[in-house]
Each structure stands twice: as structure tokens, then as C-alpha cells.
Amino acid sequence: MITLVRRITAVCALGAALAACGGGTEASRAGLTAPSTSASASASPSAPARPSPSRPPTLTPGPGGLTPVFSNGPRTKGKTVALTFDADMTADEGPRAAAGEHFDNPGLIATLRALKAPATVFMTGRWAEQYPDQARSIGSDPLFELANHSYSHYAFTANCYGLPTVPADRMRSDVEGAYEAFRKAGVPHAMPYFRFPGGCYDQQALRALSGLGVTAVQWDVVSGDAFATDADAVVRQVLGGVKPGSVVVMHCTRSAAPTTERVVRAVVPELRKRGYRLVKVSDLIGATADRA
């Protein structure tokens, strides 16, 4: 059985691929650091560099005053599962969006609504800037909750599968920048949850965010939807990994996760058939807060 650390390792590689980017004008404006050309070229979904993210414990208070980390709900309090979707777009991908690449996935959101399936969407600030109407629609729909995936989708540790990195003194402002982008898009409420780009974090990153009042949310089930072309294989992976209290990670990025809508159409009815109740992350954590 794949350990949680290996599951996180797998999705980090896919998350890095989702965020393939260069050091363009938008990155410079954000004050972030892009990797060298050689480093970017050497990091690929098939042969990523290997980071050493901390094993994400299931915690309520953060140890030593650090940002708390949450990975899954109680295993003994009913058959619940939280579907989460990362809406990835980096600070550098504006030109690709302008050229017609779709980082959004309105069909996926429509499918979740049609199925009445609650979900938590971890959105980057750059995604909200690119698709403000969609961000506002998601953030104002009680079926969903919108949470923070950083402004830039740049890594909060070094060697996170080739992702550009946020300097330590900009980590806090990168998270705050996403909440500001949500406000500008007209999102009425955003939850105080944060998902590290690539799933990579360390003590320095947790310490940098400790004053923000956010909980870092990881996962225990990797869907494998990023760049997948076989929806059935993704469905099998999700259904094979889900346990009571699971947090499933998928993506709301059409160009890089084209099968996700089909996966959801199959997974949601089957989970319900197996007796699972779909919930939002806040239902697992039991928190209610407002950051937007």
C-alpha cells in the first residue's frame, strides 16, 4: 500500500507539471524567484527532482505555534469524504491564457452542481485574476467553499520538483496576495485554509505563515488526474484509496487535467452507492471563518 508520503510525492510531481512556467514579467512584478533554465528543463513529470516535504500530520493546533496542518478527517465518525480541487495558475502563465490555454474548467463546476456534490476549491490568486467571474461564482455558491492555494503557485521550499520558489520573506505576502485577488474578484467569503503548491513545506514555511490564522490542508488520496488521459484509471485510483474521512486531491485546470469532469461523473455516484457522504473540508475540520 502506498504510504502517505509517497502519495504526496506523486502529486507534487504532477503539481509541478501543472505549474510549468518561466521567469516572465508577472513573476518579476510579484517579486518571486524563478529557477534557472537548466533547472526547469531537468524537472519533468517523468523524472522530477525529489523534495523532502515534511510528513503532514493530522493536527488541530500547530506544534510550537506553527501553522497547523490537516490531512484527513476522523476515520471513526461516519463515512465522509471531502473532494478538493486545485485551481492552478502561476504568476507567469498570463501569456499562455491570452493565447487560448484554459486554466479553468467550467464544465467540472457545472457537473459538481448537477450532482449536488460539495467541494472545496483551492484557488491561486492568479487564477482568480484571470477568471474573476468564475471565482466569484464558486465563492458565492454554498455548495462550494473557496480556499487559498497561494497567489503565484510557486513553491514554499527549495527543490520542489522544479517549481519556482517564493523567498522566505515573501511567503506571507504571497498568501495574502491570493486573498486580495479574491476580494478584487468579488468573492464574498474565502476559508482560512491554505494548500502548499506541490504539497511541499517545511518548518520555515509553517513558521512564516503562523500569524495568518490559516490551516494548511493536505490530502490522503491522490487522484492522479493531472495530465491523465484514461479517466477510468483515475476513477479506480480514487475509489481504491478512499477511506472514511479522506481528503481527495483533484484539479480544476482544464488544459492540464482534461479527464477530471468525467472522473467526477463516475466517482460521485459510486461513493454515494458505497455509503459515503460528500462534505467540504470545513465539515471535516469543523471550522468556520471568513478571510475575504
170, 218 in Cβ contact below 8 A? no
The structural domains of the chain, ordered by start, are 4-21+70-285 (3.20.20.370)
Q: For residue 191, how far is the Cα from the chain centroid?
A: 13
Q: Answer yes or no: is pLDDT of 241 > 70.
A: yes
Q: Residue 91 corresponds to which cell in the numbers above?
A: 504568476
Give percent above pLDDT 90 in the chain. 71
pLDDT tens column, 135-146: 999 999 999 999
Of 85, 129, 103, the C-alpha closest to 21 is 103
- How far CA 83 is from CA of 29, 69, 133, 178, 285, in Å, comes to 33, 17, 22, 21, 14
Residue-level pLDDT at 167: 96
pTM of the entire structure?
A: 0.81
Residue-level pLDDT at 63: 63
Residue-level pLDDT at 176: 97
Alpha-carbon distance 230 to 238, whole Å?
Answer: 13
pLDDT tens column, 142-171: 999 999 999 999 999 999 988 899 999 999
Rounded to a whole number of angstroms, the distance between the first and last alpha carbons of the chain is: 40
pLDDT tens column, 86-96: 999 999 999 99
Residue-level pLDDT at 152: 96
